[in-house]
Amino acid sequence: MSALAGLYPPITTPFTHDDRLALAELERNLAHWIASPLDGVVMPGSNSESVFLTREERLELWRVCANLLKNSGKRLIAGTGAETTAETIALTEEAAKLGAAATLVLPPFFYKAALTPEALITHYRAVADASPIPVLLYNVPAFTGIDFVPAIFMDLAQHPQIVGVKDSSSNVVKMAGVLAAYPDFQVFAGTGSALLPFMSLGAVGGIMGLANVTSEPLRAIVDAFHAGDMASARRHQLSVAALNEAVTARYGVAGLKYAMDRVGIYGGPVRRPLLPLNAAGRADIDRLLAALGLGVAA
Residues identified as active-site: 166
How many C-beta neighbours within 10 Å does residue 146 have? 17
SS3 293: coil
The CA-atom distances, in angstroms, between 107 and each of 137, 141, 164, 186 are 8, 10, 14, 18
How many C-beta neighbours within 10 Å does residue 151 have? 12
CA–CA gap between residue 93 and residue 172 (Å, rounded) = 32
Residues 6+ apart with CB under 8 A from 53: 13, 44, 61
| E strands, 60-174, in order | 75-79, 102-105, 135-139, 162-167
SS3 14: coil
**Which run of H or of E encompasses 240?**
none
CA–CA gap between residue 237 and residue 195 (Å, rounded) = 8
